Amino acid sequence: MSVPQVATNPFAQNAPAPVIAPDIVVINDGRPVESVSKQNKMASLGKVAAMVLAPLIAGVVIGKISAGAGQYNQVIEDAAPIRDDVKTIRRGLTDLQATLESGKKGGKFAPGDEKLTAALGALEDLQGNYELVFGSSMYHLDPLISREIFTFYSDIQALNAKRKEHLRAANLEAKALKDGALKFQNLSAVPYAGLLDIPSADDAAAGKPVSFKLVQLGGPVCEGDTKPNPEGCGGAAPSGMAYRDDEAAGSWKVDKLADAAEAGVPTKRIVMLDPSNPLVKQVLTGGEATLAELSYTKRVEELATLTEQMLATGKKIETALNEKANEGGKFSFFL
């Protein structure tokens, strides 16, 4: 199409300027238009997601760090009051241990010790602050220390129960122990001995064994006499003793005392018992008294053992909690 010239066409100056079409460059990257559009949308969504999630992730990380620091600080805060409670309990354990030690004679407990029983009865139960301990953060301590703490506080109840059970049983056994002690005291007034019976050759061949019989002694038989003398032998050692093997209805007999100067030990010789022999005392005081003595001793020994163990455990706990209480706290974002 020709463009009007102003010189030949008077209306040309009012004609519109020619429109020149822009050059369009088409690049074919081999991908469909829909794919390019989809990628652009995904990129936009990714940016939005990153903007939303970044603060959330940062918040979670900071929250975990802060929670860990808060937990650590709470353990430190709980350590001191629990340490002080353990210290108080250990003072009670020390009093109990001192009381038990006061009942020992020659390093051993005396069976049926009434003074020790009364002293144990005067003690108060050990008291632990269970609400403080079991409501604390001690679960987050070193597992070994946590176990020591909870075992220690459980043992308080066990020790209190053992002491009460001992007092209850000791009161029930008191009569049997007194009766047994009375029997043993009477040993000097009504002494006992053993009669050694050695069989003859014919009896031994027939299977009769050498025997030792427990007998009750009567009056002394002086040298040259055949009957006991109620007045004694005037300071001289008796040569024999009257005896019987049945306190209820046995008849009295006389035999010689065993003499170390004799060659060998003839049959029918009276052998004196050693009253310091524990078994002699147990036999003469009776089975009920013997059982009571054994039970009494066993109970107080168990009390002493558990008390000693708890003192050692309490000291270990005190040391560990003292170290924890003196540790520095950690910074927390949330106070």
Distance CA 284, CA 288 (A): 11
| Residue 318 burial (CB count, 10 A) | 17
Q: How confident is the model at residue 176 (pLDDT cuts 50, 70, 90)?
A: low
Q: How confident is the model at residue 335 (pLDDT cuts 50, 70, 90)?
A: very low
State the pLDDT at residue 60. Answer: 46
190 residue type, one letter: V
Q: How confident is the model at residue 40 (pLDDT cuts 50, 70, 90)?
A: low
State the pLDDT at residue 170. Answer: 87
State the pLDDT at residue 27. Answer: 54
Q: Contact, 299 vs 166, CB < 8 A?
A: yes
142 or 52: which carries more pLDDT confidence?
142
> CB under 8 Å to 185, separation ≥6 — which residues?
none
Q: How many residues does the chain have?
A: 335
Pick from 139-153, 217-231, 267-281: least confident: 267-281
Mean pLDDT score across all residues of the chain: 75
- Asked whether the predicted pLDDT for residue 215 surpasses 90, the reply is no
Pick from 153-167, 199-213, 253-267, 314-328: least confident: 253-267
Q: Contact, 103 vs 117, CB < 8 A?
A: no
State the pLDDT at residue 192. Answer: 78
Q: In a 10 Å sphere around its CB, with 0-12 CB exposed, 13-18 middle and 19+ buried, how is residue 324 labelled?
A: buried
The residue written with tokens 């001995």 in the block is 193
> CB under 8 Å to 234, separation ≥6 — which residues?
222
Pick from 135-139, 219-223, 231-235: least confident: 135-139
Q: Contact, 148 vs 329, CB < 8 A?
A: no
Measured CA to CA in angstroms, residue 210 lies from 38, 216, 250, 254, 266 at distances of 115, 20, 22, 20, 11
Residue range 200-224: mean pLDDT, rounded: 86
263 or 310: which carries more pLDDT confidence?
310
The H or E element spanning position 76 is helix 33-102
**% pLDDT > 70, the chain:** 64
Q: Contact, 170 vs 296, CB < 8 A?
A: yes
Please state the pTM of the whole predicted model.
0.53
329 or 73: which carries more pLDDT confidence?
73
DSSP state of 193: E
Q: Which span out of 166-175, 197-206, 218-227, 313-322 was modeled with the highest average pLDDT?
A: 313-322
Return the HEC string of 115-149: HHHHHHHCCCCCCCCHHHHHCCCHHHCCHHHHHHH
Residue range 75-98: mean pLDDT, rounded: 90
14 or 205: which carries more pLDDT confidence?
205
- Asked whether the predicted pLDDT for residue 47 surpasses 90, the reply is no
* Token digits of residue 124: 């108060």
Query: pLDDT digit string (tens) for 92-139?
Result: 999 999 999 999 988 888 877 889 999 999 999 999 998 888 877 776
* Token digits of residue 54: 């970044």
Query: pLDDT digit string (tens) for 235-292?
Result: 888 888 888 888 777 788 898 888 877 766 677 888 877 766 666 665 555 545 456 6
Nearest to 90, CA basis, from 323, 327, 321, 298: 321
The DSSP string of 79-93 is: HHHHHHHHHHHHHHH
**CA angle (237 as vertex; 268, 210 as ends), nearest 5:** 15
Distance CA 150, CA 131 (A): 12
